[in-house]
Amino acid sequence: MRNRSGPFADKKASFSLAKKFFIASAGFFIVALGAAAYFFFGGANFISSRNIDLQIVAPSLIDGGSEAQLQFIVQNRNASELRLVDLVIEYPAGTRDPKDPTKEYPRERQSLGTIEPGRQLKRTASAVFYGQEGSVQKVRATLEYSVKGSTAIFTKESEASFTIGSSPVSVAIDAPSEVVSGAPFAIEMEVRSNAQSPTESVAIEVQYPAGFSLQNSSPRAGAGGLWRLGTLEPGASETIILRGILEGQDGDNKVFRFLAGQESDETSSRVRVPFLSMPVTLSVARPMVAGSISVDGQSGKTIAAQAGRKLQGFVSWRNNSAEAVQDIEVSLALKGPMLERGSIESTAGFFQSVDNSIIWTKTQDPSLARAEPGGGGSLQFSFATLPPGTSGTLYSNPTIDLSLSVRASRAPSGGEPQEITGAAQSQVVLASAVSLLVRASVSGGVAPPRAESATTYNIVWSIKNSSNTVGGTAVSAVLPPYVQFISGGEGITYDQSSRTVRWSVGDVKAGVGYTSAAREVSFQISMSPSQSQVGQAPQITGAAALTGTDRFAQVQVSATAEAPTTGAAVLPK
């Protein structure tokens, strides 16, 4: 008889055992899968989501800003009950709570409890929908439920669409499809009531694109930048005109967004209950003849300068068209309460005092007679601003507005002569004038001071500030080696290693020292002169320096005060 033991027999037995285990596992998986399928889709006691109906009944057209009612129908066609059922409703962006239209209403959850086999439930929900007239909105509903013997949560979803009809108000926009970069243009809005009853607290909000500067509007916007139209009677309308300048590259598309709605808060800067939102796209074109302004070597929309100084400027122009231009006329208008009218000058231009403008033509400058494509030039001018407090008047956040206009004539090949124009605007913001004064008085000891004898002094720093709030203000001075710091008032600190006295002032409001009391602080020091200082008037402190940031002009401002000496110190009475 043959012996069947050995390594080959062991391997064969192991393989047979693994094969049996695999077959058994596969069989168990198939049985489990079948049981699961039977549990969910078959059998009298199991649940199938296909046997649950979730229907949304919504109007096909819903007027914007009006409360609408939706109906949700749920039916359980399974042979077993649905437990812990919730209906979750998701509304489109911009939907508002009908109980409080100032609140957004993104979703709502309703508890339905248990739904028995064969039972049908009907639920209603209300919301206020907003959107552009004609836009399609969607409402999504999700049924969340669990089943007996399981802790899992199952879902059934459905959605419905509807169209936004007319809103309580309509907005008609009349705007150019294309504007020239840097040239003024206007947008006209007509706001009309579509409601059958008066619409209260109507407000218009405009969201501007980057590069747009609003020059003026009619009527002017109220607090927060909103146009508050009050109550609009049925069929009534109001017109709003915006005038501004749009800067951009040739071919840029800029989007303005106009929102109409209700806002009763007079201080709010946003329409919290919008009826509709209308986007308007404007294309930016490069001007055929362009202009630019620079003052004291700075250019751009905003230029910072010190008040009370004479400022040098240049206007530049360039022919961007494909043809030569001729009869170029350049005009610069200056406007601002702190403009010193008698100081306006130009080497080649003519100053018109009636409107504070300078005009350059080919009569004054022959280079303006004709310019080839790409040609251009620069023209010089200067003006001065009044010192703060001139004639007893102090202006807050003062500016000088500069408006440049360039006109020329061109004759396209085979065409009639055309007038082409360009424009540019800059605003010179005048930084506040700050000043620092130092006073010293003897407060104890020997006066006048004697060698090797201590004398105490009271030092007072005083700040004046003219036009704009100056933030982050600080004053500092270094004490001589023969002086010792004793104490100081609020905000005064002393650094022993650098021997520096520092006053952290913070914000200094406009008008301090002019229309209100100056900001002051005091500190005390002790001085013991040396024999080598006999016959001299040594310094009590070093020179004081003030630094800060003009919050309006967004520039650094500074001031200094000479070092006080023993000779200038006030003696006690």
- Residue 7 placed within a domain: no
- Residue 495 is part of a domain; what is its CATH number? 2.60.40.1170
Give the residue from 269, 285, 301 where a domain finishes. Answer: 285
Phi first, then psi: what are they for 8, rounded to 5°? -70, -40
For residues 83 and 404, what is the distance between their CA atoms, to the nearest angstrom?
Answer: 75
For residues 433 and 222, what is the distance between their CA atoms, to the nearest angstrom?
Answer: 31
Beta bridge partners of 402: 334, 426
For residues 278 and 240, what is the distance between their CA atoms, to the nearest angstrom?
Answer: 15
For residues 482 and 528, what is the distance between their CA atoms, to the nearest angstrom?
Answer: 6
- Residue 206 is part of a domain; what is its CATH number? 2.60.40.10
- Residue 496 placed within a domain: yes
- Contact 544/421 with Cβ under 8 angstroms? no
| One domain for residues 478 and 448 | yes
Give the residue from 234, 256, 285 where a domain finishes. Answer: 285
Residues whose CB falls within 8 Å of the CB of residue 306, separated by 6 or more in sequence, listed in order: 430, 431, 433
- Residue 9 placed within a domain: no
- Residue 308 placed within a domain: yes
- Residue 404 is part of a domain; what is its CATH number? 2.60.40.1530
| One domain for residues 335 and 351 | yes
Task: Check residue 199 and give its pLDDT.
Answer: 81
Phi first, then psi: what are they for 40, rounded to 5°? -90, -30
| One domain for residues 140 and 267 | no
Count: domains in the chain: 4
| One domain for residues 328 and 415 | yes
Three-class DSSP labels, 208-277: CCCCEEEEEEECCCCHHHCEEEEEECCCCEEEEEEEEEECCCCCCEEEEEEEEEECCCCCCCCCCEEEEE
Buried b (16+ CB within 10 A) or exposed e, 454-491: ebbbbbebbbbbbbbbbeebebbbbbeeebebeebeee
- Residue 498 placed within a domain: yes
Task: Check residue 29 and give its pLDDT.
Answer: 58
Measured from the Cβ of residue 234, the count of other Cβ atoms closer than 10 Å reads 13
- Residue 566 placed within a domain: no
For residues 264 and 392, what is the distance between their CA atoms, to the nearest angstrom?
Answer: 41
- Amino acid letter, residue 203: A
| One domain for residues 398 and 425 | yes
For residues 195 and 380, what is the distance between their CA atoms, to the nearest angstrom?
Answer: 58
| One domain for residues 466 and 511 | yes
Residue 494: domain span: 434-561
Three-class DSSP labels, 454-508: CEEEEEEEEEEECCCCEEEEEEEEECCCCEEEEEECCCEEEECCCCEEEEEEEEE
| One domain for residues 296 and 427 | yes
| One domain for residues 158 and 173 | no
| One domain for residues 505 and 519 | yes
- Contact 52/76 with Cβ under 8 angstroms? yes
DSSP conformational letter for 50: G
Total-model pTM: 0.59
For residues 302 and 119, what is the distance between their CA atoms, to the nearest angstrom?
Answer: 71
Task: Check residue 164 and give its pLDDT.
Answer: 85
Task: Check residue 22 and give its pLDDT.
Answer: 59
- Give the residue carrying structure tokens 């124009």: 421
| One domain for residues 224 and 328 | no
| One domain for residues 530 and 474 | yes
- Residue 32 placed within a domain: no
Give the residue from 431, 448, 479 where a domain finishes. Answer: 431
Residues in the chain, how many? 573
Per-10-residue mean pLDDT for the chain, 573 residues long?
45 52 60 50 64 93 85 94 94 84 86 94 90 83 92 92 85 91 90 82 91 91 87 91 89 91 80 80 90 92 90 94 90 94 90 92 92 93 90 87 92 76 90 94 85 91 94 96 94 95 96 93 93 86 96 93 90 72
Task: Check residue 27 and give its pLDDT.
Answer: 59
| One domain for residues 273 and 387 | no
- Residue 105 placed within a domain: yes
Beta bridge partners of 489: none
CA dihedral for 549, 553, 554, 559, sign (positive or negative):
negative
